Amino acid sequence: MSPQTDSESFVLLRLAERRFAVAAGDIAELVAPSRIFRFPHHTKEIEGVILRRGRIVPVCDVAARLIGKSLLSRRFYLIAQRRYTNGTEWIALPVTGDCELIFAEMIPASEADLPHVLGWLSHDGDVIEVLNLNALTPGPSPAILPAPAQALHAQEALS
């Protein structure tokens, strides 16, 4: 039996010196930074939008919330799927370093954890937060949205 039988896949992303994880099923692709189009709005977490594969994708800098400061430089945009009550949309997360696909077991978050923490995993001696993008990125009503893992389990139950 493979030692990874009970593991799930995650993408590790880097924000300055820290690493975070996102469920791999929520990631669409990793792209080089492209032109950001800005227009007036009042959603402070959103920097602007990029054009990607024919779609207009909002760019959301989550660093301020996760590491306490905005990114001065960025190496890639990690394009993830963000769930809303009426579907999913792409959202681009600026990251400062390479991303890595890993397999690990996630320990679910406890009630004491912040809403954007979906769980924890251990990798290379580090304990890494698994992010709940529904809670981390802006949207109409994040509280009522299912966390990615819950949605995944619900899908599995239906299939």
Partner 1 sequence: MRLPTPTKSQPVRTEQIILFRVSGQLFAVSSASVKEVRSVDTLAGAAKEIAQAGLRKVRHIVQRGEHSLYVVNGAMHFGLPAFAPALVFVLRHTRTALLVDGIEKMTTMTRLQALPQAFCNDERDWYRGVTAIDQTVVPVVKPEGFLTPDELFLLDSSLQPKASDSAALDSAACDSAASQAAGGPPSVFEGGGLESTSTTNFPCEPASLKATSDAPVDSEAGTAPLGFKGADFAPTDTTNSPSIPQ
Question: What x-and-dash track marks residues 119-148 binding partner 1 by CB under 8 A?
Answer: ------------------xxxx--------
DSSP 89-151: EEEEEEESS--EEEEEPEEEP-TTS-TTEEEEEEETTEEEEEE-HHHHS--S-GGGSPPHHHH
Choose which of 41, 70, 122, 154 interacts with partner 1 (CB under 8 A). Answer: 41
Q: How far is the CB of 83 from partner 1 (least distance, A)?
A: 10
| 151 forms part of the interface with partner 1 (CB under 8 A) | no
In this complex, which beta carbon is closest to partner 1, that of residue 18 or of residue 25?
25
Near partner 1 in 83-102, by CB under 8 A: 84, 87, 89-91, 98-99, 101
| Assigned token pair, 148 | 């990615």
Say how far apart CA 6 and CA 159 lie, in whole Å.
Answer: 19
Nearest residue (CB) to partner 1, 30 versus 113: 30
Q: Do residues 107 and 120 make contact, with C-beta atoms less than 8 angstroms apart? A: yes
Give dist(CA 139, CA 60) in Å, integer: 11
Residue from 55, 69, 70, 105 touching partner 1 (CB under 8 A): that is: 55
Is 115 among the residues that bind partner 1 (CB under 8 A)?
Answer: no
Q: How far is the CB of 132 from partner 1 (least distance, A)?
A: 15
Per CB under 8 A, 39 contacts partner 1: yes
Between the two ends of the chain, the Cα-to-Cα distance in Å is: 25
CB-CB neighbours of 2 under 10 Å: 7
How many residues belong to the site for partner 1 (CB under 8 A)? 47
35 or 110: CB nearest partner 1 = 35
